[in-house]
Amino acid sequence: MKNLKKMSKVISASLALSLVLAACSDDKSESTGSKDGKDEKVKIVYARGKDDTQGTKAMVEAFEKKYPNIDVEFKEMPADTGKQHAQYLTAFNANSSEMDVIDLDVIWPAEFAQAGYLMPLDRFIDKDGVNLDEYNQGALSASKFKGKQWALPKFIDAGMLFYRTDLVDSGKVPKTWDELLATAKATKGQGGTEFGYLMQAKQYEGLVCNAVEFIASYGGKIIDENGEVKVNSPEAIKGIKKLVEIANSDVVPANVTTFAEPESHTAFINGQSSLIRNWPYQFALANDKSQSKIAGKVGVAPLPAGDAGSAAALGGWMAGINKNTKHPEEAWKFLQFMTGAEGQKIDAIKGGHAPTLLALYDDKEILEANPYFKEEGFVNALEAAVSRPVAPNYPEISDIIQGQISKAIAGDITAEEAAKNMQDEISAKLVK
């Protein structure tokens, strides 16, 4: 009897222990990961446009090594920013939680925040003590809306002129648009080239950037600092005329109106042109011996000047978190890594992107990989940066500019008509 009672106590204790363990097991199965990131594995989806460099791949690998409980799946979005924007809108309007972290063009944060697509980052920033003073403030300001931080900047861009050093002497790099035409004509056909100059003239956001550069270099503006539409001016018209002249010259591809960044940089690294207008990533891509025929033969300079000097469209990309993400803590860990010193350093070395963290411009490894970051031409190009028209409904404004500039390039309308049409249409659409 005593043995029976003793066995009963043992069974009861074992059953109680089993119930406790089962309860603990159930609790853990419902967790998406502990605060210190050491529990079960979580998968997050990171969406961005096609990356032709090794930057994204290397950065994700480094993150997963540091946080082995978080897997990052890369979802490739269209290279065309307009199509990328449209896909985001379709997904977010349907309250999709498929994408956790997304890349944002500098012109999108306010729009996405207003629409309720993004999760504000302030509580994460405060919790982890992220020092926003360490970032380029111009890039940072584009990710702030109504007093809240909706994204963090990954890299900063500005339009620049890249040239073949075996075809264009560094002391004779074109300083004006007319000199560019002359140099492009003189070097076309040399060193295996088919063209003298490459640009982005397809009807998409890249065309707006090119147009802003031409217009600003002649002293014109599309929308001024007071929010007034000023594109129908002699200065802006002169800039449009020069853009149309170059886009219709024999130094660019005959089908240049189909060229976005991928078509442009591919032709350049294949040795098909002596000059190209592109973003900073072009330098790393052109010096990648595994895919470039002109590695070691690339220089950089500010874009040519018009009557008012050189102007470069300010660009760059940021990262934000989908409001509907099911893994906010893990999404923040990835975003913080990507936009922090570790992620930006990897992207600068492997992807050729210019950091938004100012201290990284003193990093020896970054400067070794991107020697032009310390060159006068690069610095001057960044200093010449001008923003695209600032408007809450920017996509509508961009569509108007794209359409009118495209018509002018095609010869359907004159530069004067394009400027007048933009003045009227933007004024009617502008939301202040």
Domains of the chain with CATH codes: 42-157+316-373 (3.40.190.10), 158-314+383-429 (3.40.190.10)
Select the more confidently predicted residue: 157 or 118: 118
What is residue 384's predicted lDDT score, i.e. its pLDDT?
Answer: 82
**Around Cβ 375, how many Cβ atoms within 10 Å?**
14
Give CA separation, 231 vs 153, 155, 242, in Å: 29, 29, 15
More confident residue, 396 or 13: 396
User: Residue 201's pLDDT is what?
Assistant: 98
Q: Select from 273, 290, 269, 271 the least CA-distant residue to 281.
A: 269
- Band of residue 273 on the pLDDT scale cut at 50, 70, 90: very high
Phi-psi region of 37 (alpha: psi -120 to 50; beta: other; left: phi over 0): left
Cβ partners under 8 Å of residue 233, min gap 6: 220, 221, 419
Grouping H, G, I as helix, E, B as strand and the rest as coil, residue 109 is helix
pLDDT at 388 over 50: yes
**Percent above pLDDT 70 for the chain:** 91
Query: Is the pLDDT reported for residue 25 higher than 80?
Result: no
Look-up of token digits 């990961």: 33
CA–CA separation, 111 vs 383, rounded Å? 27
**Exposure letters 349-371 (e unless 16+ CB within 10 A, then b):** bbbbbbbbbeebeebeebbebbe
Residue 396 has pLDDT above 60, yes or no: yes
CB 341 within 8 A of CB 359: yes
pLDDT band at 383 (very low <50, low <70, confident <90, very high): confident
- pLDDT band at residue 225 using 50, 70 and 90 as cut-offs: confident
pTM, two decimal places: 0.73
**pLDDT band at 16; cut points 50, 70, 90:** very low
What is the C-alpha to C-alpha distance for residues 365 and 361, in angstroms, rounded to an integer? 10
Instruction: Kindly report the number of other CB atoms within 10 A of residue 290's CB atom.
Output: 6
DSSP-assigned states of every residue in 357-407: BGGGGG-HHHHHH-GGGGSHHHHHHHHTEEPPPP-TTHHHHHHHHHHHHHH
Q: What is the C-alpha separation between 118 and 68, in angstroms, rounded?
A: 26
Across residues 62-74, what is the average pLDDT?
Answer: 97
- Predicted pLDDT of residue 3: 42
pLDDT, residue 39, reads: 63
Instruction: Give the largest Cα separation in the chain, rounded.
Output: 109
Mutual angle of helices 205-217 and 81-93, in 10-degree steps: 130
Span 161-192, pLDDT tens digits: 999 999 999 899 999 999 999 999 999 999 99
What is the CA angle 151-394-417, rounded to 5? 155
Contact 256, 250 (CB under 8 A): no
Q: What is 160-171 written as a DSSP string?
A: EEEEETTTS-GG
pLDDT at 392: 75
